């Protein structure tokens, strides 16, 4: 037997998610660490850290019994997918799968069905764990993934399996009961792949961003360290006493990193299943939630909630906003509606794990007026410590920090996506000249703050999701009454942006605006090519659509003359 000591367990000690998972079990084994509220029944489930850990150990044994093979550095293990909401089971999978050596693939259930099917088959998922409320979705795609997926595991608070056509179906809780609550976690290479997150396919098919244990471990440490750099006078540093409500879906870019740093910090994690306004208010009040990360849409929905004053939300002291720009007006309104916290913006993407830039108050700004500080808090901000972020022109040169010159955001650092899974061509399109190219356009002001000004690929952001205009344009072009059509985003108070369609009809056509929606529903939504929330809310019929000199739709000109298009637009119900 070889006596392994140095350097295997010193300078080469692996940076693993396992380390994050074990900390709260050692420090606070008998404290309640995970609270889950079923958003359908309203029933609460509470787990101490030791209870949650033992369930995760049982899960690791289940994976072994189901013949899930671990990977090694540079070679991913078997892919284990999830189609699940924010529950304690999904949090167990976030550690049980990668810490046992397999590759976790959280499927974004809000993708169009065609794209969900593509991601399952492209990643070659061996097993899918899915929630009971998502059974209809799994059944609807089953015939197109059953030759790829070997086993399905049904997760529910109620015992028993459903009557379904899905073969090789197992019950999560039964599987756990059959296994030991002890598991010897392997000392994997830190370069083992841990997670696989697919993009929303805004310019084609989704692409899989793949992450190692090392990348996610370093990301976690830097995000925790980032809070120590903060100078904002309104920030309340609660440390382990913070009680986060995990609103961002676990299927959406690691829930913005929440399952990693919340567990490592041993904070009581509150899981809502999925977001509802009343559920949010109830959980904040009952669990004394202090911290939440949301998209701007959620703030707008809270503003509109008539019964919000019936709840005590005074425990809430920290709100981080991502997934879209934080309008200063919205920030001001929500802070007046729910006094006690200050909202701040941030920026990231699937390929960056996701956080890269955050709002930041410099130490010499602490005494600035609230109005001036709020202008800082809604800016995209400064790079998270540990990353290099620049804004460059078309020649790769840094743009002047004059708050006017624009360029593309480029990033490099230890948790930026290494590559797209099984897609070297697309990897080469974003990784070149030693930088990852985001495709997002920004400017930099005199204080070195980055401010995003546009999307290079003209993606429409609606809530936390992105509407792929190319997909809509290609679909609309299939209609026999449409000569050409394009789609742009227009401002919306609730969703940030809503989609407007601009179409040119074939000669002598008598079709109306409603016919486009009907077509997109029949050929898109009903056939799983797009989702209902992608449908345009406004439609304009024009004689000519502006084009560039090379024949592309000129969306810059459309935006420049947006008022003219809006004046002609007809609002169409998508119900």
What are the structure tokens assigned to 43, written together? 């029933």
List the beta bridge partners of residue 267: none
Residue 126 has pLDDT above 60, yes or no: yes
Q: How far is CA 533 from CA 228, 461, 490, in A?
A: 39, 11, 15
Confidence of residue 44 (pLDDT cuts 50, 70, 90): very high
pLDDT in tens, 532-559: 888 999 999 998 888 754 455 788 789 8
Predicted local distance difference test score (pLDDT) of residue 417 = 97
Among 94-103, 357-366, 397-406, name the one with the lowest average pLDDT. 397-406
Among 206-215, 233-242, 310-319, 473-482, name the one with the lowest average pLDDT. 473-482
> Which stretches of 224-317 are assigned E, i.e. beta strand?
244-245, 269-271, 291-294
Cβ–Cβ under 8 Å, residues 103 and 196 = yes
Predicted local distance difference test score (pLDDT) of residue 202 = 57
The domains located in the chain, with CATH, are 17-440 (3.40.50.12780), 460-571 (3.30.300.30)
Of 345, 417, 420, residue with least CA distance to 387: 417
List the beta bridge partners of residue 406: 443
Predicted local distance difference test score (pLDDT) of residue 357 = 97
Predicted local distance difference test score (pLDDT) of residue 549 = 41
Among 211-220, 457-466, 472-481, 509-518, top mean pLDDT goes to: 211-220
Round the average pLDDT of the chain to a whole number and report it: 92
Predicted local distance difference test score (pLDDT) of residue 404 = 83
What are the structure tokens assigned to 277, written together? 């306004």
Quick one: how many helices (H) and strands (E) in the chain?
17, 27
Q: Say whether the peptide bond before residue 496 is cis (omega within 30 degrees of 0).
A: no
Among 25-34, 245-254, 485-494, name the one with the lowest average pLDDT. 485-494
The DSSP secondary structure of 382-393, one letter per residue, reads EEPTT-EEEEE-
Of 308, 318, 258, residue with least CA distance to 285: 308
Among 271-275, 296-300, 509-513, top mean pLDDT goes to: 271-275
CA distance 34 to 20: 15
% helix / strand / coil in the chain, to the nearest 5? 35, 25, 40
Residue 16 has pLDDT above 70, yes or no: yes
Cβ–Cβ under 8 Å, residues 125 and 281 = no
CA distance 186 to 101: 8
The DSSP secondary structure of 36-78, one letter per residue, reads EE-TTT--EEEEEHHHHHHHHHHHHHHHHHTTPPP-BTTB---
Of 519, 572, 527, 536, residue with least CA distance to 460: 536
């Amino acid at each position: 037997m070889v006596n392994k000591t140095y350097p295997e367990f010193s300078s080469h000690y692996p940076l693993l998610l396992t380390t994050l998972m074990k900390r709260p079990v050692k420090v606070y084994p008998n404290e309640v660490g995970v609270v889950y509220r079923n958003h359908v029944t309203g029933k609460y489930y509470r787990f101490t850290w030791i209870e949650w850990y033992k369930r995760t150990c049982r899960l690791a044994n289940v994976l072994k019994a189901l013949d899930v093979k671990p990977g090694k550095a540079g070679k991913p293990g078997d892919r284990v997918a999830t189609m699940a909401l924010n529950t304690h089971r999904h949090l167990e999978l976030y550690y049980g799968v990668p810490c046992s050596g397999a590759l976790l693939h959280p499927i974004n259930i809000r993708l169009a069905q065609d794209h969900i099917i593509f991601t399952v088959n492209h990643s070659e998922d061996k097993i899918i764990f899915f929630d009971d409320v998502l059974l209809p979705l799994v059944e609807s795609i089953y015939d197109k993934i059953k030759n790829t997926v070997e086993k399905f595991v049904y997760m529910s608070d109620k015992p028993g399996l459903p009557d379904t056509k899905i073969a090789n179906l197992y019950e999560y809780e039964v599987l756990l009961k059959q296994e030991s609550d002890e598991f010897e976690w392997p000392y994997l290479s830190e370069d083992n792949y841990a997670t696989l997150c697919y993009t929303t396919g805004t310019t084609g098919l989704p692409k899989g961003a793949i992450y190692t244990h090392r990348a996610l471990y370093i990301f976690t440490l830097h995000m925790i360290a980032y809070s120590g750099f903060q100078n904002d006078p309104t920030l309340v540093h609660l440390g382990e006493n913070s009680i986060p409500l995990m609103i961002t879906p676990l299927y959406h870019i690691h829930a913005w990193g929440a399952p990693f740093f919340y567990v490592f910090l041993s904070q009581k994690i509150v899981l809502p299943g999925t977001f509802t306004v009343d559920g949010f208010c109830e959980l904040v009040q009952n669990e004394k939630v202090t911290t939440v990360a949301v998209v701007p849409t959620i703030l707008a929905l809270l503003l509109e909630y008539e019964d919000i004053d019936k709840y005590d939300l005074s425990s809430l002291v920290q709100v981080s906003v991502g997934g879209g720009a934080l309008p200063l007006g919205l920030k001001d309104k929500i802070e007046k509606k729910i006094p006690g916290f200050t909202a701040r913006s941030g920026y990231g993407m699937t390929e960056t794990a996701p956080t890269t830039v955050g709002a930041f108050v410099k130490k010499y700004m602490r005494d600035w007026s609230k109005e001036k500080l709020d202008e800082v808090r809604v800016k995209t901000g400064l790079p998270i410590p540990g990353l290099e972020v620049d804004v460059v022109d078309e020649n790769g040169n840094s743009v002047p920090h004059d708050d006017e010159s624009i360029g593309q955001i480029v990033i490099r650092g230890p948790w930026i996506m290494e590559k797209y899974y099984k897609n070297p061509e697309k990897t080469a399109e974003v990784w070149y000249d030693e930088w990852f190219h985001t495709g997002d356009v920004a400017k930099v002001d005199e204080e070195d703050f980055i401010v995003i000004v546009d999307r290079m690929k003209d993606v429409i952001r609606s809530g936390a999701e992105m509407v792929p205009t190319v997909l809509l344009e290609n679909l609309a072009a299939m209609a026999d009454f449409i000569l050409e059509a394009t789609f742009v985003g227009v401002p919306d108070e609730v969703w940030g942006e809503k989609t407007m369609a601009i179409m040119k009809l074939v000669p002598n056509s008598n079709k109306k605006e409603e016919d486009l929606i009907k077509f997109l529903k029949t050929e898109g939504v009903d056939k799983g090519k797009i989702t209902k929330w992608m449908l345009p809310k406004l439609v304009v019929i024009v004689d000519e659509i502006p084009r560039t000199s090379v024949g592309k739709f000129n969306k810059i000109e459309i935006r420049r003359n947006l008022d003219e298009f809006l004046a002609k637009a007809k609002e169409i119900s998508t119900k």
